[in-house]
Amino acid sequence: MAGRKRQTATMWQVAERAGVSQATVSLVLNNVGGSRVNDATRERVMNAVVELGYRTNAFAKSLRSGESGMIGFISDEVASSPFAGRLLKGAQLRAWESGNVILSVDTFNDPNLEAAAIDMMLSYRVKGVVYASMYHRAVDVPAELQAIPTVVVNAQDRAGGVPSVFPDEEGGGYAATRHLIDAGHTRIAMINIQPPESDLPAGIGRLAGYRRALAAAGIADDPRLIRSGTGVVEDGFSFTLDLLAEADPPTAIFCGNDRTAWGAYRALESRGMRVGEDCSIVGFDNHDMLAPFLDPGLTTVELPYEQMARQALGILLSDAPDNPPHTSVECSLILRGSVTSAKVRA
């Protein structure tokens, strides 16, 4: 026989159990400041709440107050990505710390699904929306989001009207290249993750950081040491073989992402060379399913997914009228075994 549906306790029942009025229960549960409810009465009310398993009607409360305690999180496919999902994790943790919860939808770049998600979130009276991207790019924020506080994360609002939080790609490229320079390398190649004509901020910034580090160290920028790939393992493999065939091959390679670095590992192995000992490699992303498990472990630059999300939530929940339009977050260098001191060539 099917079990009977459990009856939901009411505020009247809580009041009866605690021996107080429903108004007193409401004052306690809503934590109304300045109310004359003494500590003993408050304790009796809370004990009755626990004993009866009473739950407030969050929807009704949102209708009265105009606030739902929810924050919208709209993304292309962040929640279903194996590593960009840390954006959602950071947002959830920061929201929970402030007494809020995240209402998340992946739209998979479907404009109809995105429009429906925005309409749903507006109907739920979310406090604001985090508009997120799986990879760093310029985005067009939907006009419907102008009605509520919105922050773009891991991307930049093309129009510049919405606060944006994104990784410091150039700083990451500089840190990666500087680390190789500090290890004594002067013939440093770069395999980028996009063609020169691409307008994506990631590859543009990482290449700019590479060049800035060389210039700061007084090392000439040799165009023969730069290759433009698409961020896949196969590019890392073929371009590394190409670079090793140069008359004066590099002793180190900065790869624009960890998948490219994996391809570079495979290329060196195919030539009977050892990563670190014969050629140092640095990646970008700190892909946790890849970078620590290569042999040797890959020194790489970490994309600050959780930090970006936390900063975005901080801006969204801030009462400050003038939030920064652009906030770049540092990309940290993660040291492993793929970089060693440069060997002196005869």
19-33 per-position pLDDT tens digit: 988 888 877 776 655
The CATH code belonging to domain 69-162 is 3.40.50.2300
> Is residue 129 within 8 Å of residue 71, measured between CB atoms?
yes
Residues in contact with 123: Cβ distance below 8 Å, sequence separation at least 6, in sequence order: none
> What average pLDDT does the structure give for the chain?
88
Same fold, 11-56 and 169-303: no
Average pLDDT over residues 136-160: 93
Q: For residue range 236-282, what is the model confidence (pLDDT) as tens digits?
A: 999 999 999 999 999 999 999 999 999 999 999 999 999 999 999 99
- For the chain, the structural domain boundaries read 11-56, 69-162, 169-303
In the CATH hierarchy, which top-level class contains the domain 169-303?
A: alpha beta
CA distance 86 to 88: 5
The CATH class that applies to domain 11-56 reads mainly alpha
The average pLDDT across 290-296 equals 95
User: Which DSSP string do the residues of 250-314 spell out, in sequence order?
Assistant: -SEEEESSHHHHHHHHHHHHHTT--BTTTBEEEEEE--TTTGGGSSSPPEEEE--HHHHHHHHHH
pTM of the prediction? 0.80
Decide which of 141 and 51 is more confident: 141
**DSSP secondary structure of 214-265:** HHHTT----GGGEEE--SSHHHHHHHHHHHHTSSS--SEEEESSHHHHHHHH
pLDDT at 48: 87
Whole-number percent of the chain with pLDDT over 70: 89
When mean pLDDT is compared over 42-46, 81-85, 256-260, the highest value belongs to 256-260
Statement: residue 79 has pLDDT above 50: yes
Q: How far apart are CA 16 and CA 1, in angstroms?
A: 33
